[in-house]
Amino acid sequence: MEDSTSVKDNDLAKRLQAVAVSDRIGCHQAFKVAEEMGVTLAETGRVLNELGIKIVSCQLGCF
């Protein structure tokens, strides 16, 4: 059985992959997904790094 963190990461990964285009995601989109999923920006950035998805048009260098 997966722990809740693995399930949350898996759901977050699926959502980020759905939003990303050509392995890129806009910073605003990443912020929005994090808010929708109820996760921190740090968690979102970690999952994006694991997926190899690059942040573009970044606001304030958060990622």
- 63 part of a folded domain: no
> Of 2-6, 7-11, 47-51, where does mean pLDDT reach its minimum?
2-6
Question: For all residues of the chain together, what is the average pLDDT?
Answer: 87
Write out the H or E segment, with its range, that includes residue 9: helix 4-19
CA distance 62 to 45: 9
- 28 part of a folded domain: yes
Residue 24 is encoded by which pair of tokens? Answer: 């890129």
- 43 part of a folded domain: yes
Mean of the pLDDT values across residues 26-36? 94
- 24 part of a folded domain: yes
SS3 30: helix
- 61 part of a folded domain: no
- 44 part of a folded domain: yes
Q: What pTM, to 2 d.p., does this model score?
A: 0.81
Write out the H or E segment, with its range, that includes residue 20: none
Phi, psi of 54 (to 5 degrees): -90, 135
Q: Which domain holds residue 14?
A: 4-56
Count of structural domains, the chain: 1
Confidence of residue 61 (pLDDT cuts 50, 70, 90): low
Residue 29 has pLDDT above 60, yes or no: yes
